[in-house]
Structure 1
Amino acid sequence: MLDPYELTVHTLTLRQLGDAGQLAEINGLTFADVEAGLEKAVSEGAVLAARGSYMITPAGRAFLDGVYPRAFAAPRADSAVSEAMDAFETGVNKQILSLTTDWQTVEVGGDRVPNDHGDPGYDAKIIEKLGRVHEKTAKVLRPLSAADPLVERFLERIGTALTRAEGGEIAYVSGVRVDSVHTVWFQLHEHILRLTGRERPE
């Protein structure tokens, strides 16, 4: 698995720009560990600092490309992980993408138009479906969760976003300024692609 320094740099592949607190929320490290990792990464040219936020550099990506094969050797060699990833890509990931489209648009007269969220019943059905897919995803990704606790952390964060959406904070479905279901799902997907050494499907 990744050590704290490697994990800090890796987190900037999941969130393109972030401060130490935001990165710690994603990776579960202490704020102090993330700060120390960022300071080292900046000094080594792996990360660029800008007004309290950080972004990975090409050198940082090259560093991680050398780290991943060693850090993730065991899960990459595990057939159960490979099968789980196949099931994720062909099943729940496609369902989430479809439900996100259904959330953002509605059908009117045979055409898809932006959802103005004026129909609470329609929105509630989408959130309920997202919840069912979330439960299924936890089962599908069980081999990955067993191999890497960060996978479970992503699933918990998606659950938190769903709870807030169910409570009326609908930005937590697909909003880009909060840790919404859509935002955290993207981070989860990016993480498990790097974990398994796969490319994002077109």
Structure 2
Amino acid sequence: MLDPHQLTLHSLTLRQLASAEQLADVTGQPVIDVEAALEQAVADGAVLAARGSFMIGPAGREQLDALYPAAFADLRATPAVTDAMDAFETGVNKQVLTVTTDWQTVEVGGDRVPNDHGDADYDAKIIDRLGRIHEKLPKVLAPLAAADPLVARFVDRLGAALTRAEGGETDYVSGVRVDSFHTVWFQMHEHLLRLTGRERPE
């Protein structure tokens, strides 16, 4: 698996442009450890820094691409992990994509138009659907979570976003300026793809 320095680099492939605090929230590492790893990575030329935010550079991506096959070799060779990833892609991931589309648009006269979120009952039903998907996740991802603790952390972060959405903070469904359900799901999916060596489905 990844050591703390490698995990910090890896988190930048999930969060893109981010602060040390935001990366620590992704990985669960102490902020001081993330800051130290970023400082070293910037000095090595693997990470780019600008005004308190950081971004993985080409050299950092090359390091990770070379690292993943060995770091995750045992996980990738586990049949239960392969089966879990198949179930994730064909099941809950497709369901989230459908629910996100239904959140962002509504059908009017046979056409899909942008959802203005004026129908609270419609929006509540969408959030309920996300809740049912989230309930399935621990079972679907159990083999992956057993091999990598960051998977379970993503499930918890999704739960936190869902709780806020259920409480009326609807930006936490798909907003891009907060750790919304959709945003965290995208990060988790990217993490799962890197763990298993797969490409993102078209």
Residue segments in structure 1 that go unaligned for 5+ positions in a row: none
Structure 2 counterpart of 1:93: 93
**How far did residue 70 of structure 1 move?**
1.7
Name the aligned partner's letter for residue 109 of structure 2.
G
Structure 2 counterpart of 1:83: 83
TM-score (norm 2): 0.99
SS at match of 1:10: helix
Structure 2 counterpart of 1:22: 22
Q: 2:51 aligned with 1:51, yes or no?
A: yes
Once the two structures are overlaid, the 10-residue window that deviates more, 186-195 or 71-80, is 71-80
1:35-85 deviation digits (Å, cap 9, x = unpaired): 000001001111001111000011000000111112111110100000000
1:141-184 deviation digits (Å, cap 9, x = unpaired): 11000000000000000000000000000000000000000000
| In 2: Cα distance, 1:126 partner to 1:105 partner | 11
1:61-119 deviation digits (Å, cap 9, x = unpaired): 00001111121111101000000000111111000000000000000111111111111
SS at match of 1:187: helix
Q: 2:177 aligned with 1:177, yes or no?
A: yes
**How far did residue 193 of structure 1 move?**
0.3
| In 2: Cα distance, 1:7 partner to 1:66 partner | 14
| In 2: Cα distance, 1:87 partner to 1:70 partner | 24
Residues 33-182 of structure 1 mapped to structure 2, 5 A cutoff: 33-182=33-182
Name the aligned partner's letter for residue 144 of structure 2.
L
How many matched pairs?
202
| In 2: Cα distance, 1:55 partner to 1:46 partner | 9
1:5-41 deviation digits (Å, cap 9, x = unpaired): 0000000000110010000000110001100000010
Structure 1 outlier segments of 4+, above 6 Å: none
CA RMSD of superposed structures (Å): 0.6
Name the aligned partner's letter for residue 200 of structure 1.
R
Residue segments in structure 2 that go unaligned for 5+ positions in a row: none
TM-score (norm 1): 0.99
| In 1: Cα distance, 2:80 partner to 2:116 partner | 42
Name the aligned partner's letter for residue 14 of structure 1.
L
Structure 1 counterpart of 2:188: 188
